[in-house]
Chains A and B, each alone.
Chain A
Amino acid sequence: MLGLSTAYLTLIVLIPIAAVVATSLEGGLSAFWEQVTAPAAVAALKLTFVASLIVVAVNAVTGTLIAWVLVRDDFRGKSAVNAIIDLPFALPTIVAGLTLLAVYGPQSPLGVDIAYSRAAVVVALLFVTLPFVVRAVQPVLAELDQEMEEAAASLGARPFTTFRRIILPNLLPAMFSGAALSFGKAVGEFGSIVLISGNIPFDTEVASVYIFKNIESDEPETAAAVSVVLLVLSFVVLAVADVLERRSRRHDA
């Protein structure tokens, strides 16, 4: 069984990924460097990186807030709200992009038109990464012993102080782990961005769109080189997420 599993993984994942790495190095290291440092590539990678960082920071706050409301608050329809948190996982990314364009595009019913701007990239990424921090923080918050908070409150700590000194330290590992997963998803996102960002080079073109354009215009070496940069980023993020998740688990026990 192990042999068959390994063969399946090799044929479907390992060989294709090896082909990307090999193609990126076809012209040697200097050619690789040249492709990765081409102005358009740098601009795309920078936008991807900065937008993902913004998204992670926003998610850490809003995700924790939503988790808090879902665990500690009680109101009618809470279970429905809890269920739709996972919708961005289930909804195809192209549909997400289309609907965001309908609300935040030229025909916006709210009068908010951010289409074809960098803000649109951030909004699309916020949509697709919504569940990560919520779902990481929620179980930790639910397990948290409220006696500590009551003790702090009875000793005269204000609610915010209690949150900052007692609750937050307990949530941090889960927040980090959820944030790392958001970052990993944001860095590679394509479907939700492609319609709403306008894909303007040096402005709103993210790395995945840059790779896509280079595949379409038959520049596989360039596409592969930028892919390798994303690949390395993904690996780093996966490793970080793994470490943080283990740490947050140890915290639970």
Chain B
Amino acid sequence: MRSRPGSRYGLRALALGYLVLLLALPVSMIFYYTFRDGLEPVWEALTDPAFVSAFKLTLLAVGIAVPANTIFGVACAMALVRRPPKHGTWLLNSLIGLPLALSPVVVGLALILVYGQDGWLGGWLTDNGIQVIFSKPGIILATIFVTLPFVVREVIPVLREVGTDQDEAAWMLGASRFQTFRRVTLPAIRWGVAYGVVLTTARALGEYGAVAVVSGRIAGKTETLTLHVDEEFLRFNEVAAYTTSLVLALLAVLTLIAMNLFKPRHDKEVADVDRRPPGIEALR
């Protein structure tokens, strides 16, 4: 549609104005409020033991949730695409999608009802001296729950496009199952996995609702970075709240850059398959 320049500039101004008011202006306020009173309070906030411990706990949760869901994601995608079960595929698919559609607060509640003191497994856990809720395992579990779908959902379409011909060829040429996976399957799906890992990391770093429910908010023990933001804000420590927000925002920008780097490669990975030389297929 060839439109007049007037309407083109009008639409551009509308779109950019909306983005400035909703996105750019609010996010830039983080910088303003963090550095408003100079660097000293920022340094104080960053060296506060509560901040340091929150930072460590967030890293711990990310460090466990991301590898766990990556391994699960690849394994589950392989199983669903390569050897789909006769029954119950729809159930597995909806269970995988569910964490994306659930309110994070409901996720927290669900975990309390199973792993809390009065929960289904609460008695057994207490008898064995394991505390999940209001403790670190609960926070890790909540993080795993909310980030569970990302890797699976990125890997399934790639695996579907790639097919099994190359794997079968490797297998026939005498490669072991692990060798086939490492040398043939993994290289074919690597950008999908990478993109999924980035999405998982972003969500794990920023999870708030589910973690807020199961944490019990013991400063220096069960506080993550997002909870620390909230806690400091409610205590009127604005600089500490904004400094922590800035740290989280910078991490978000890093993941955003990674997303923009990996997404085109991942898309290409899916699209490239059709353009592969005939090779194995031609021999059939």
| Chain A residues touching B, majority SS | helix
User: Does residue A136 face the partner (Cβ distance < 8 Å to B)?
Assistant: no
| Chain B residues touching A, majority SS | helix
Interfacial chain A residues near B249, Cβ < 8 Å: 91, 95
Q: A98 to chain B: closest CB distance in Å?
A: 6
CA distance A215 to B217 in the complex (A): 14
Whether A17 and B11, one on each chain, are in contact in the complex, defined by CB atoms closer than 8 angstroms, is no
Q: Which chain A residue lies CB-closest to B68?
A: A8
Contact with A along B109-138 (1 / 0, CB 8 A): 111111000011000000000000000000
User: Does residue B171 face the partner (Cβ distance < 8 Å to A)?
Assistant: no
CA distance A166 to B2 in the complex (A): 13
Point out the residue from B12, B19, B206 that lies within 8 Å of A84, measured CB to CB. B19
Point out the residue from B23, B100, B120, B257 that lies within 8 Å of A130, measured CB to CB. B23
Q: A120 to chain B: closest CB distance in Å?
A: 12
Point out the residue from A92, A110, A223 that lies within 8 Å of B208, measured CB to CB. A92
CA distance A78 to B205 in the complex (A): 28
Interfacial chain A residues near B103, Cβ < 8 Å: 187-190, 207-208, 211, 227, 230, 234
User: Does residue B30 face the partner (Cβ distance < 8 Å to A)?
Assistant: yes
User: Does residue B43 face the partner (Cβ distance < 8 Å to A)?
Assistant: no
CA distance A84 to B256 in the complex (A): 8
Give the A interface residue count (CB, 8 A).
85
Tell me the number of A-to-B contacts counted with CB atoms below 8 Å: 253
Q: A84 to chain B: closest CB distance in Å?
A: 6
Whether A9 and B95, one on each chain, are in contact in the complex, defined by CB atoms closer than 8 angstroms, is yes
Q: B231 to chain A: closest CB distance in Å?
A: 10
Interfacial chain B residues near A173, Cβ < 8 Å: none
User: Does residue A20 face the partner (Cβ distance < 8 Å to B)?
Assistant: yes
Contact with A along B180-213 (1 / 0, CB 8 A): 0000000000000000000100100111110011
CA distance A241 to B190 in the complex (A): 28
Interfacial chain B residues near A162, Cβ < 8 Å: 1
Whether A127 and B23, one on each chain, are in contact in the complex, defined by CB atoms closer than 8 angstroms, is yes
User: Does residue A73 face the partner (Cβ distance < 8 Å to B)?
Assistant: yes
Interface residues of chain A, those whose CB is within 8 Å of chain B, are 1-2, 4-6, 8-9, 12-17, 19-20, 23, 62, 65-66, 68-70, 72-73, 75, 81, 83-96, 98-100, 102-104, 109-110, 123, 126-127, 130, 146, 149-150, 153, 159, 162-163, 166-167, 184, 187-191, 194-195, 207-209, 211-212, 215, 220, 223-224, 227, 230-231, 234-235, 237-238
